[in-house]
Structure 1
Amino acid sequence: MLDVPVVIPLTLLALGVGVLGCLVRPRWDVAVLTGLLSAVWSRVNGPVEGRVLHTFSYSRGFTEADVLSVLALLVVGSALLRCALRGARRSPGGSGRGATPAGAHQGP
């Protein structure tokens, strides 16, 4: 198993690359992977959490490091929305890949 000081920077780097990929060229597979990395970040960020912004119970709260997960999930949501809109624009009449452009010959 990886040591905690190695997991934190690797997870943070991967999350940053995923968020950048979602912003520059949104793809559904990158968005899903970034969403999973956001969940991983919320579990491994314990040593670098920072101040508690909101307390839910005695041992649970929302910290500064958790803001990164929320922002990443917002970017993932917008990337998935952009992918869905792009897919809807590409498919004429909503029929998907089976549609043939007007005037195209179908074949015998």
Structure 2
Amino acid sequence: MGRLTSICHDLRMGALNAAATRVAGGATVTFRPSGSSMVPLIRSRQQVVVAPVDPTKVTVGDIVLARVAGTVYLHVVSSVDPARRRVQTTPPDRPEAPAVPPRAPGPGPDASPGAT
């Protein structure tokens, strides 16, 4: 990874971290993530809205803002274990990602709920 690419990556990750911190504090946050790991559900630079949510309401197929090993990602919930209070997330470009029905046409889906 070149220096400029590394700096851009760090800035994006900093923005997601800031969004996750604000959502964890109770705020609803709108931003435009970049990258292709969420295509076709969310395109690069498509506006998304994340908001706090009751963790018991998260279901398979929801798009969440999640902190994984200290790094924040937008991911699709691939499994929920209520007994252990755990949620498994997977980017949709992975084979183990759940099938998510296509969304209605429009300006683009909101990525919500925003669990962290």
TM-score normalised by structure 1 residue count: 0.33
Q: Which has the higher strand share?
A: 2
Q: Which has the higher helix share?
A: 1
